[in-house]
Amino acid sequence: MRLFSLLVLSFPLFAQSARPTIAAVVNGASYANGPIAAGEIVTLFGSEMGPARLVPFTVEAQGNIPSSLSGVQVLFDGAPVPLLYVSATQIAAIAPLRLAVGVTQIHVVYNGVASPAFPKPVDISAPGIFSLAATGKGQAAMTNADGALNSAVNPAAPGSYVTFYVTGASAAGSGAIDGAPATGPAQIAQNVVVTIGGKAAQVLYAGAAPGNVNGFTQVNAVVPADIGASGALPLTFQVNNTLSQTDITMYLGAVRTSAATIFLIHGLGQGKQDVQALQGSLASVVGLDPSKFRIDGGFDFSECSNSASCAANCSMASGADKLAQYIIKANPPGDIILMGFSMGGVLARDVIANNRLASLNGRRVSVLITMGSPVLGYPYSTFDRLYYCGGLVQDIDGNWRGQQASNTVVLSQYLSGLRTKWAAGNFPGFGGVWLAASGRIVFERNSINQFIDWMPRPKSI
């Protein structure tokens, strides 16, 4: 998507004076008249700054946005910056990507005549969310998980992800060029917080929007599954403890208590961030219906799974207990689906076999999906034992290398016990299913689609 709604707007024109004059420089998304940030899309208001009628930019031959347009230049500390549109009374420009914190001196030059300097404070970040009507308030410029515009007639579903756009978040990558399109993802390094309806939302991605100009930030966030509200809800974005405007809204559909929740469980050597790509692709690539399925990728066992120097109490059993407590705290209103990669699939089996969700009033997991999970142990090498958490490796080691001549495995005490309990555990629960697949093929679109199409549909609890 290209510069959402920035170039299809009409703008009021004001009286002009004899010399270019800058009256205000504000955030181009929120119109907040505070400090600006490096790479921020800004709007300049004034008089005699350019031609009487608004002129939008035309992309240069090399694909960049020009720094000179219809005889107009905007200078930050003497250097010209990219221009999105110009007119006598209003200009949209992009602050330099490496603008230093402090105070910058801004000039407008029109047909060789420069305005007086306009000093403007510069901060680390000054985020503003783009609104659909380009007014800085009301409905956000947002798409739902299916790519359609978020609106009152097309609200997002609880547990689904949404995409919206920000400027002033300093999201450009280290090699980014002023006025050039972002060539790939560049995640914001600072702490980012998104709230929807006053509740913290899981942030899947916040950074450069590939294909859009540097300075235009894309944010993917998951609507809290337990939000418990619908209609027009407030949306906020915060980075570096600096908050966006607070009068932006998005539409959320009514909570569907029959929707199933898919809990994504990462593997050994991973953390929750490693399943976030899968979380996004389940909706955007696979096409899961967000009204029927919520996706939760927030479980994290990386303090044990992603560290060779893990604590002595790190074990598969402790990981399964942590997973169970995470699910119990989430208390999903509909069916429970566990999708585990590698070690995560074994943790999911442990939760089921040991009935660790007993406090959820007898509810059971209706679907289990394991991807490349070592249910008969994994043939770890000496290197693996040094690189990964020893307690976890010991629990899921099948000692295949020691038995390679006879092509057999010797299950660890943990796996052997889990296998015994599994047989007596009456899994799956009523009407449930288990899909076990290789870790590679399950990520292919057709494989997942075929299973999702066949999967029993959620039922009321």
Over residues 134-168, the pLDDT tens digits come to 999 999 999 998 889 999 999 998 888 899 999 99
Distances (CA, A) of 179 to 6, 31, 77, 216, 306: 15, 21, 17, 11, 39
Measured N-to-C along each axis, helices 343-353 and 413-424 cross at an angle, to the nearest 10 degrees, of: 50
The partner residues of 251 in beta bridges, in order of sequence, read: 232
Q: Does the pLDDT at position 450 exceed 70?
A: no
Q: Does the pLDDT at position 7 exceed 60?
A: no
By DSSP bridging, strand 113-114 and strand 21-27 are unpaired
Average pLDDT over residues 323-343: 87
407 torsion bin: left (phi>0), alpha (psi -120 to 50), beta (else): left
Residue pair 166/207 in contact (Cβ under 8 Å)? The answer is: no
441: pLDDT confidence band, cut at 50, 70 and 90?
Answer: very low
Q: Which domains does the chain have, with CATH numbers?
A: 21-123 (2.60.40.10), 128-252 (no CATH), 260-454 (3.40.50)
Q: Does the pLDDT at position 460 exceed 70?
A: no
pLDDT at 13: 44
Residue pair 37/99 in contact (Cβ under 8 Å)? The answer is: yes
- DSSP strand E in 111-215: where? 113-114, 118-123, 128-129, 138-139, 142-143, 161-167, 192-196, 199-208
- CA 247 to CA 237: how far, in whole Å? 11
Average pLDDT over residues 358-380: 75
Other CB atoms within 10 Å distance of the CB of residue 167: 29
Over residues 226-277, the pLDDT tens digits come to 888 889 999 999 999 999 999 999 999 876 556 788 899 988 888 888 887 6
- pTM, entire model: 0.59
pLDDT at 386: 66
pLDDT at 352: 87
Over residues 423-433, the pLDDT tens digits come to 655 454 444 55
363: pLDDT confidence band, cut at 50, 70 and 90?
Answer: low
Average pLDDT over residues 77-85: 97
Q: Which residues of 209-236 are buried (b: 16+ CB within 10 A; e: fewer)?
A: beebbbbbbbbbbbbbbebeebeebebb
Q: Does the pLDDT at position 86 exceed 90?
A: yes
- CA 15 to CA 136: how far, in whole Å? 23
Other CB atoms within 10 Å distance of the CB of residue 27: 26
pLDDT at 354: 86
